Amino acid sequence: MYYTYVLYSEKFDKIYIGYSSDLQNRIIAHNHPKNKGWTKNFQPWKLAYHETFNSKKEAMIREKQLKSAKGREFIHNQIIKK
């Protein structure tokens, strides 16, 4: 299984879109104090949304869709602003 996910930092009003085969550990990694990536600057992150796929390719395609202008509009209107 692969997952496309949206993380939300309420403190900074930021979203992060990614994909992973291990969603639970990926969220832990984003919030880990030793995280050196972009997401470190906007911790803490909460899982706002996810979708499940059978293949990595499908998850990557959906990630790209969600990163588009229409995808981000969907995220803000349907997920974040609920």
Please tell me the predicted confidence (pLDDT) of residue 49. Answer: 95
Distance CA 8, CA 16 (A): 7
Please tell me the predicted confidence (pLDDT) of residue 82. Answer: 57
Where along the chain do its domains lie? 2-80
Provide the sign of the torsion angle of the four alpha carbons 10, 46, 39, 76, taken in this order.
negative
Distance CA 53, CA 67 (A): 17
pTM of the model: 0.92
The third-level CATH classification (topology) of the domain covering 2-80 is GIY-YIG endonuclease (3.40.1440)
pLDDT tens digits along 11-45? 999 999 999 999 999 999 999 999 999 999 999 99
Count the Cβ atoms, other than its own, within 10 Å of residue 57. Answer: 10
